Amino acid sequence: MTEPVIKISKLEKSFGNLKVLKGVDLEIDKGEVVCIIGASGSGKSTLLRCINLLEEADSGEILFDGQNLMDLRVNINALRQKIGMVFQSFNLFNNKNVLDNCTLAPVTVRKIDLNAARETAIKHLKAVGLGDFIHADVNRLSGGQKQRVAIARALCMEPELMLFDEPTSALDPEIVGEVLDVMKNLAAQGMTMTVVTHEMAFAREVSDRVVFMDGGVILEQGSPAKVFGSPEHARTREFLSRYLDDKK
Amino acid sequence: MAEKRFTRRLSYTTGGLLLILIALVIAWPSLNDFINNFINKYEELDTNPQGFIDSMIYMTIKCRNIMFTGVWTTVKLALAGTAIAFILAIFMVFMRIQEPDRRDNLLIKIIKFAVNRFARFYIFIIRGTPMMVQALIFYYFGFNLFKRTGLTVSEINNIWSFFISGLFTVSLNSTAYLAEVLRGGILAIDKGQSEAARSLGMTNWQTMRKVVFPQAVKNSIPAIGNEFIINIKDSSVLSVIGVMDLMYATKSVGGIYYRSLEIYCVAALLYLILTYLSSLLLKYLSSRLDVKAQGIPSSN
Ligand SMILES: Nc1ncnc2c1ncn2[C@@H]1O[C@H](COP(=O)(O)OP(=O)(O)O)[C@@H](O)[C@H]1O
Ligand SMILES: [Mg+2]
């Protein structure tokens, strides 16, 4: 058995008096696509943000690349390069065009030659269907286009793990598909992905494992067939039925 | 599209300017005569006329060299002072926004804490005291400092002139205000911008320099322009240390003729012209850069 890409144990995090993560254990293997589902406020975003240290967890362990990210001496910038993150609100750099969004980090962080970085960026932008928008102003793109640029931007750093925090929640329903298609492609290419999502159809179709979070813990996890088909916990059933009702 | 609109606007502007230029060339001889006659009429008077407006014009024409030096000095103080302050404010705001992070080593933590406290203290002192007091303190402080090096008073007056110490005052004063302007600009940038940069492995410094700061400066341009306009007005307090600005020139002229009200009205008019022209310029600049301009600001 190979080592997992990332191994989280007993992770806890509070904001003031509010305990948001109450001991989370999660392992993600190479090439695995894990979807995290759960009610709003259950701590899904906080978990993702703790993984790439946008939030500092209070206790527990996050093993990545043989290093414990919770150790204050690790070089977080070096580690973050290998963990791509896609945000609900895209967060494209407003002062840069599409191409420059994608080349900024490779050039400044990885010290890659600008021409080489551009070539890589164009390759990724074409792969997400934005070959014609290379020099576009990011503020003029549609939400779906923005999110695809954000994915391409993360891929330009050649990450070992991609985190997605509700990548389609800010999009109009008719645009969601174009972003999910890009993510499906990525999964098919063997990218290790952790996706917080409310797109149950996507989770069912693409993920290797579904994780249900509730009240700051992982209540249950398993194959999509198991979690969607025969959930163990009443809370999971309740969430799923409520969610599927809402959607229909 | 935008380019087309721009060229069209440009051609309107150049067309308009060209028309004015042609009109000026045609009208120049008679216009020149008119101006000369106007000036001569007042130059030939021996006494300050009784009429209010007449007296204003008379004193302005008689002392136009002093008044012009005053206006020019005020413009220089405001321009150079704001420019120097902008550079210093960049350093100041970087100090101000330093916060020790739990992942920093002890030395870095101490340095960050120290520069942060220094910047807060500096801004607190400058914003909490009148520029007139600051001008006097800087002037005498500099003077005493040079005195210790054994220079004579006239040598000191050459190096630490009224103008230099006045410029020093405007610059250091505006640094505090502009640092706060820039800090506001930085805080107004969506946190998602820096989070995205950090998630790509960029350091805090790279994130600030390449992503946050350029956006913050752009959004701060109207406020920086405001600081320039404020400096046009507030540099008038520097006349207390003897800087030959518009205020000082006005006082001198008033002293020659014992007609204070009239000459101070001239000063007010000149200040108004300066601030109004500046605000027009700013509006133009802001619209070109697609940021929102404000009107003539109140004082610091
Ligand atoms: N920076 C923060 N400061 C204070 N409370 C926060 C912060 N971020 C999240 N929370 C709180 O933590 C809880 C979990 O939030 P989050 O992880 O965003 O949940 P989810 O992504 O599952 O909706 C929520 O109650 C939220 O209000
Ligand atoms: Mg969330």
Task: State the complex-level ipTM.
Answer: 0.93
Question: What pLDDT was estimated at residue B295?
Answer: 67
Question: What pLDDT was estimated at residue B216?
Answer: 95
Residues of B in contact with A109 (CB under 8 A): 200-202, 206
Residues 77-106 of B with CB under 8 A from A: 102-103
Distances (CA, A) of B159 to A197, B73, B155: 68, 17, 7
What are the pLDDT digits (tens) for B237-280? Answer: 999 999 999 999 999 999 999 889 999 999 999 999 999 999 99
Among A50, A58, A77, most B C-beta atoms within 10 A, so best to mutate, is: A77
Tell me the ligand closest to A212's alpha carbon: 1
Question: What pLDDT was estimated at residue B49?
Answer: 87
Tell me the ligand closest to A41's alpha carbon: 1
Q: What is the DSSP letter of B236?
A: G
B221/B283 Cα distance (integer angstroms): 10
Band of residue A65 on the pLDDT scale cut at 50, 70, 90:
confident
Band of residue A248 on the pLDDT scale cut at 50, 70, 90:
very low
Residue A148 Cα to ligand 2 middle (Å): 19
> Mean pLDDT, to the nearest integer, of B189-208?
95
> Mean pLDDT, to the nearest integer, of B93-103?
93
Question: What pLDDT was estimated at residue B287?
Answer: 86
Q: Are B153 and B214 in contact (CB under 8 A)?
A: no
Is residue B1 predicted with pLDDT exceeding 60?
A: no
Question: What pLDDT was estimated at residue B300?
Answer: 66
Residues of B in contact with A90 (CB under 8 A): 192
Task: Give the three-class secondary structure for B173.
Answer: helix
From edge to edge, which strands make up the β-sheet containing A59-64?
A18-28, A6-15, A59-64, A67-68
CB of A45 closer than 6 angstroms to any ligand 1 atom: yes
Tell which atom from ligand 1 comes closest to the C-alpha of A43. Answer: 17
Can you say how many angstroms the Cα of residue B227 is from the centroid of all Cα atoms in its chain? 6
Asked if B202 and A157 come within 8 Å (Cβ–Cβ), the reply is: no
Question: What pLDDT was estimated at residue B188?
Answer: 94
Residue B251 backbone dihedrals phi, psi, to 5 degrees:
-60, -45
CA angle A30, A107, A143 (to 5 degrees): 70
CB of A15 closer than 6 angstroms to any ligand 1 atom: yes
A151/A146 Cα distance (integer angstroms): 9
Q: Work out whether strand A33-38 and strand A209-214 pair parallel, antiparallel, or are unpaired.
A: parallel
Least confident among A128-142, B26-40, B232-246: B26-40
Q: What is the DSSP letter of A97?
A: B
Q: Which residues contact A139 (CB under 8 A, 6 or more apart)?
A: A94
From the CB of residue B107, how many other CB atoms can be counted at a distance below 10 Å?
Answer: 8
Is residue A3 predicted with pLDDT exceeding 90?
A: no
Band of residue B15 on the pLDDT scale cut at 50, 70, 90:
confident
A121/A156 Cα distance (integer angstroms): 6
Asked if A105 and B200 come within 8 Å (Cβ–Cβ), the reply is: yes
A4/B210 Cα distance (integer angstroms): 34
- For B215, which residue in chain A has the nearest alpha carbon? A95
pTM (2 decimals)?
0.89
Asked if A54 and B206 come within 8 Å (Cβ–Cβ), the reply is: no
